[in-house]
A and B are shown apart, each in its own frame.
Chain A
């Protein structure tokens, strides 16, 4: 007998209506039928999980109060998008092993993806990050309790982890798991937006600096040196202390102070790229300087930018947690991992879960980003590609 997977695949070579229907109604089951256990189970679980979430938490979308309505709808839309994504992927995947298409020529990114997949840790990190973002977007539906409303101080204060409160409650009787989920939204949003800002500024300034050279280069790079020469946290605290702390302020300050590293990397990259013949060729085709920088040089310099961005998100999350821990960041009662650690610190001896759980959340998140960043760096380095 030939290998079971092979014979199983040939059995469904021409997918009938029944299989298609099955693939639509219960994504993952066709994969299970051909003994692709891992993929099938994962898809089925994701589908069922999302479905049950939709059924059990519907009231939260429609019953949401004024302030929470927007985020409830965002969560509902995310839910629909995720479910649709899972179903579509599962359906196409189910049809794909039916007819084996001619392999398409792999582009640069295809090769990178291939190299990235070989790095187990990085793939694990990516999965964690994907889950975190999904959880953060779905938080209004997922969270078992309201993160802001204090519980009954007599009976619900500092409860240790149990069935009703998986990660226990804090000194106001609020559910720690819910607070961590809401905190994830804050941390991940701040990380994402701040890094987005800093990457954009850094890439543009770095590219201009490297390509134009001369006086512009000197001015931009001296400015970079100036910003880098300040200790990051001290600069942050100073700026934040001057204004009323708010999430917008933190995002702005983090975004506007973290770009010099990117600028330097992109500048170096552009300096070497602009000597390449394709830039000369682009000039000979009559392309403007702006077009050459934006459309030809920056895409080529993107690889190290992606790596710094990924590592940068982890860094920014730590900085935000640090700021919040010191009381300059996200202000209570809004949950933030940094503030939660700071609050829990006092109760470390009699309620260890208070500081430990958000602390672990920080560690896992940042670790995941770093793993992905390392994986990307290796995958994007053509010398390491087999």
Chain B
């Protein structure tokens, strides 16, 4: 899931976990979140707690603050195991140490007794991953897991996530604003803009043939190897604030192709076949592309 800051990526993830604070947040009526056929929105809060951490796990952007500073790493992993897997003492400790080893932490037995402040950012993110995966969830939501890390560590963590996903046969939702991360790890991409998904498809399709002007703009703004450019291309303007979202196309103000229709009615998600969608009137009138404002 890609999009710039404040476009609703994290809120979408939190809605899947049903962790959007209510009030002020609210998941509106016709919504649906299904996990292996279970409708999560109809579960009670108690049932939902059993889903969280056990079947859906989440890791966060800031490994510096996502671990509880007063407990050892081991304590935090075993707590989840005690709750969801009913493992106690030695058994829990063994699973936790195995998990720590699996996420590539050297000397897992020693790491078990360390406090978060004794670990580097990359190591802490590994601990977060170990914690999230300790109960073998069906789905892992990684909310910008590498934003706070430097590039080398970022590559390591992404590789680790991809490998763990293969090994455990688990689904991974990766939230990021970094298109290169998506290209490297993901099968399918959803592009978000101002609280809506504007385009969705396989990573290959979206990157080679973006259909929504916003996606096109994003891709055009990437620096490319071998292209000597004086300035990077950019999308003019800024994302409108939620209270300024028009009852029309939310990208219209910044869109190079916008015309009358875009200001009159909000475009729906047009299916383009094979699970691809685009939220743009251009799908209906592709000849417009050349036309000016």
Q: Which residues of A contact B (CB under 8 A)?
A: 105, 107-108, 276-278, 280-288, 291, 295-296, 299-300, 302
Contacts and interface: CB of A to CB of B under 8 A. Distances in A.
A287 B83 contact: yes
B49 A286 contact: yes
B33 to A, nearest CB: 15
Contacts of B68: 278, 282, 296, 299-300
B115 A286 contact: no
A314 B67 CA distance: 36
Contacts of B54: 286
B58 to A, nearest CB: 4
Closest 3 CB pairs of A and B: A286-B52, A285-B53, A286-B53
Contacts, number: 72
B97 to A, nearest CB: 16
Nearest to A214: B23
Interface residues of B, number: 35
A302 B70 CA distance: 10
Given A284-B52, A285-B53, A299-B70, A107 B60 contact: no
Interface in B73-89: 79-80, 83-84
B245 interface: no
Contacts of A299: 68, 70-71
Contact of A284 (B58, B65, B113, B115): B58
Interface of B: 17, 19, 48-54, 57-62, 65-72, 79-80, 83-84, 113-115, 117-118, 128, 131-132
Nearest to A287: B83
The secondary-structure label for the interface of chain A is helix
B51 A286 contact: yes
A363 to B, nearest CB: 35
Contact of A281 (B48, B49, B83, B128): B128
Nearest to A283: B19
A105 B115 CA distance: 9
Nearest to B65: A277
- Could you say which of A285, A295, A296, A302 has the most chain B C-beta atoms within 10 Å of its C-beta? A285
Contact of A107 (B61, B62, B115): B115
A54 to B, nearest CB: 40
A286 B84 contact: yes
B51 A105 contact: no
Contacts of B115: 105, 107-108
Nearest to B51: A286
Nearest to B141: A284
28 contacts: A105-B114, A107-B72, A107-B115, A108-B69, A108-B70, A108-B115, A276-B65, A277-B65, A278-B65, A278-B66, A278-B67, A278-B68, A280-B19, A281-B60, A281-B131, A282-B68, A283-B19, A283-B52, A284-B58, A285-B131, A286-B50, A286-B51, A286-B53, A286-B83, A291-B83, A295-B79, A299-B71, A300-B68
Contacts of B49: 286-288
Contact of B60 (A280, A286, A295, A302): A280
A300 B60 contact: no
A295 to B, nearest CB: 8
B80 A285 contact: yes
Contacts of B58: 281, 284
- Could you say which of A280, A286, A299 has the most chain B C-beta atoms within 10 Å of its C-beta? A286
A300 B72 contact: no
Given A105-B115, A277-B60, A287 B72 contact: no
Given A283-B19, A300-B70, 14 more contacts: A105-B115, A105-B118, A107-B115, A108-B69, A108-B117, A277-B61, A281-B67, A284-B52, A284-B58, A284-B60, A285-B53, A286-B49, A296-B68, A299-B70
